């Protein structure tokens, strides 16, 4: 029952991301100090809030064993959340708030790293994020977990999915 509830919750977040993501590009205008209609800025900020909440909830679900990695909606929702947070970091270089967004994005990457052990979609998402992170790290963000060369992800899934071989 818990996994069904988690799937429904992730589907709900997916729907919210689908609705708010088209307004994400307004974050760049906000960072440049351009005047925006209030509704557009609210939708853009709602997208970031949903992305952050999605990753927080996915982390809790993963610890509870309630997230189902075979469900593409869960994997894709976490992936899109990470992308949105990385966009915020890229749109606001040098400010304090994107630092928290970057930490959340790293957590989302860690979740995908755990899920990759049983889902090829999560592995493809991580490969895509690695390319994006490499480009972004050289420009504005601190070195991230996929870029740093650390082996922190190589054994990440074994406690949750012992059958995984990396």
pLDDT by 10s per residue, the chain, length 166: 577 888 899 999 999 999 999 888 888 888 888 888 888 889 989 999 999 999 999 999 988 888 876 778 888 999 999 999 988 888 877 665 667 888 999 999 999 888 887 777 788 888 888 887 676 666 544 444 444 433 334 334 334 444 444 3
Burial (CB count within 10 angstroms: exposed 0-12, middle 13-18, buried 19+), residue 91: buried
Domain that holds residue 132: 2-139
Given a contact cutoff of 8 angstroms between Cβ atoms, the answer to whether 111 and 44 are in contact is: no
Could you tell me if residue 98 is inside a domain? yes
What is the number of domains present in the chain? 1
Could you tell me if residue 156 is inside a domain? no
Given a contact cutoff of 8 angstroms between Cβ atoms, the answer to whether 139 and 90 are in contact is: yes
* Residue 18 neighbours by CB under 8 Å, 6+ apart: none
pTM of the model: 0.77
Please name the residue that has the structure tokens 């970091």. Answer: 89
End-to-end CA distance of the chain: 30
Could you tell me if residue 145 is inside a domain? no
């Amino acid at each position: 029952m818990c996994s069904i509830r988690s799937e429904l919750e992730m589907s709900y977040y997916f729907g919210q991301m689908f609705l708010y993501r088209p307004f994400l590009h307004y974050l760049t205008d906000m960072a440049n100090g351009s005047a925006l209609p209030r509704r557009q800025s609210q939708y853009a900020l709602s997208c970031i809030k949903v992305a952050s909440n999605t990753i927080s909830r996915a982390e809790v679900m993963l610890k509870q064993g309630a997230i189902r990695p075979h469900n593409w909606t869960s994997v894709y929702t976490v992936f899109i959340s990470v992308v949105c947070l990385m966009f915020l970091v890229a749109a606001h270089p040098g400010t304090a708030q994107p630092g928290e967004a970057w930490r959340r994005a790293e957590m989302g990457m860690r979740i995908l790293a755990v899920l990759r052990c049983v889902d090829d979609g999560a592995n493809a998402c991580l490969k895509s994020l690695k390319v994006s992170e490499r480009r972004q790290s050289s420009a504005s963000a601190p070195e991230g977990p996929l870029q740093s060369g650390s082996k922190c992800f190589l054994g990440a899934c074994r406690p949750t999915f012992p059958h995984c071989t990396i």
